[in-house]
Amino acid sequence: MTDMNDEPIALYTDTEDADLSSAVALLEAAGFRVVIDELVSETELAMRVGELQPAALLITYAPVGEPVFKAGPTIRVVSCCAVGFDSVDIAAADRHGVWVCNVPDAATEEVASHALSMALALVRRLPFMDRHVRDGGWSFDAAGTAALPAELTLGIIGLGRIGRRLASLSRSLFADVVGCDPLLDDDAWPQAVRRLDLESCLAASNVVSLHTPLTDTNEHLINARTIELLPPDAMVVNVSRGRLVDEGALLDALDRGRLAAAALDVTDPEPPEVGGRLRSHPRVMLTPHAAFYSAATPDRYLIHQAENVSSWRREGVPRNAVNRPSGAGDGLGPASIS
């Protein structure tokens, strides 16, 4: 175990060659010794944690569950470098008294504008017209009849920061904007969005855009059953997490004309199989998990991730916590570790 007088360790697990200089300086100023590794599997992460006994883990995609927490009883905070935190076993973190936090606001504008761009591209059939022309064609209706956003309803599943920003950007473009988010309080609900339950929202949506974190209860939210709730020729946009969509059911629906098109920035797995149905489907638009990206976002994500950990060091509670672990009351900083 880490002695209370030791310099606490902050361990980066998988940085993907990011420039960590500013984030590391912030952590060091908070009193951490920073260790940077490339640990992709949970097994190798658990082994390294057992050696180092860090107080904090800063992760990108590395899976963190019971084996890691058992190997590192000194761990008190796990900071994810994304809005999503599905690579962490939250129940296990709670049992071990570990805070888990995310970065919810580093790329709100980027992701919302990417989702809107995807939706508009599908509505106007732009990627499919482009393929037609590149293949030697020149027919205005080869990709089907392009619609007008002003004739359609946009449905937003998940009205967090990104979903609300998408609603703000979209309300003057689409005939109607509807949404579903059972966790959002009424006083935070955007006025321009009609609030519906999930099934009613899907039934009303010509274009549905997913903006909800992946949880144990919403994997394959878009599946064979829920696709049937959508209007004929509906379109699906996903910039959230790949496992929200049952890709087999999606592709089957596209093949039989039940859906008009799909635009995916995230897939399951990532990247999708080379030569697989998803990459080659004529009605699927793909981007390489890039919705978050702009010139400013990499440093923004890393700084916010580090700030979550440094705030825990200073105050005992991290910023942007997504859980409230039992036994991790206010004031638990590294000096309390025995």
Question: What pLDDT does residue 338 have?
Answer: 22
Q: Which two tokens stand for residue 206?
A: 């010509």
Catalytic residue among 161, 195, 289, 300: 289
Asked if the structure places residue 267 within a domain, the reply is yes
Asked if the structure places residue 2 within a domain, the reply is no
On the question of pLDDT at 5 being above 80, the answer is no
Instruction: State whether 112 and 250 are in the same domain.
Output: yes
Q: DSSP readout, 41-106?
A: SHHHHHHHHHHH--SEEEESS--B-HHHHHH-TT--EEEESSS--TTB-HHHHHHTT-EEE---SS
Distance (Å, whole) CA 22 – CA 302: 8
Instruction: State whether 100 and 220 are in the same domain.
Output: no
Over pLDDT 90: what percentage of the chain?
91
Catalytic residue among 38, 51, 151, 270: 270
Report residue 3's pLDDT band, with 50, 70 and 90 as the boundaries: very low
Asked if the structure places residue 174 within a domain, the reply is yes
Instruction: State whether 47 and 92 are in the same domain.
Output: yes
Asked if the structure places residue 249 within a domain, the reply is yes
pLDDT digits (tens, 9 = 90+) for 24-68: 999 999 999 999 999 989 999 999 999 999 999 999 999 999 999
Instruction: State whether 57 and 120 are in the same domain.
Output: no
What is the domain-level CATH number for residue 48?
Answer: 3.40.50.720
Instruction: State whether 116 and 81 are in the same domain.
Output: no
Asked if the structure places residue 70 within a domain, the reply is yes
3-state secondary structure 259-318: EEEEEECCCCCCCCCCCCHHHHCCCEEECCCCCCCCCCHHHHHHHHHHHHHHHHHHHCCC
Instruction: State whether 177 and 271 are in the same domain.
Output: yes
Distance (Å, whole) CA 282 – CA 260: 11
More confident residue, 55 or 334: 55
Catalytic residue among 96, 241, 283, 313: 241
Report residue 326's pLDDT band, with 50, 70 and 90 as the boundaries: confident
Distance (Å, whole) CA 83 – CA 101: 9
Average pLDDT, the chain: 93
On the question of pLDDT at 232 being above 90, the answer is yes
On the question of pLDDT at 243 being above 50, the answer is yes
Compute the average pLDDT of residues 244-269: 98
Instruction: State whether 136 and 121 are in the same domain.
Output: yes
* Residue found by looking up tokens 């967090």 in the block: 160
pLDDT digits (tens, 9 = 90+) for 281-300: 999 999 999 999 999 999 99
User: Residue 77 sits in which domain range?
Assistant: 9-105+295-336
Distance (Å, whole) CA 196 – CA 79: 33
Instruction: State whether 223 and 329 are in the same domain.
Output: no
List 261's β-bridge partners, or say none: 235
Question: What pLDDT does residue 79 have?
Answer: 98
Instruction: State whether 113 and 240 are in the same domain.
Output: yes
Question: What pLDDT does residue 328 have?
Answer: 67
Asked if the structure places residue 66 within a domain, the reply is yes
Question: What pLDDT does residue 332 have?
Answer: 41
Report residue 17's pLDDT band, with 50, 70 and 90 as the boundaries: confident
Over pLDDT 70: what percentage of the chain?
95
Q: What does the buried/exposed string (b/e) look like for 262-292 if buried means 16 or more CB atoms within 10 Å of the residue's CB?
A: bbbbbbbeeebeeeebbeebebbbbeeeebb
On the question of pLDDT at 20 being above 60, the answer is yes
Instruction: State whether 162 and 73 are in the same domain.
Output: no
Query: What is the phi/psi pair of residue 102, to 5°?
Result: -130, -175
Instruction: State whether 179 and 282 are in the same domain.
Output: yes
Instruction: State whether 87 and 184 are in the same domain.
Output: no
**How many separate domains does the chain show?**
2
Query: Can 114 be counted among the known catalytic residues?
Result: no
On the question of pLDDT at 247 being above 80, the answer is yes
Query: Can 164 be counted among the known catalytic residues?
Result: no
Q: Which residues contact 113 (CB under 8 A, 6 or more apart)?
A: 169
Query: Can 241 be counted among the known catalytic residues?
Result: yes
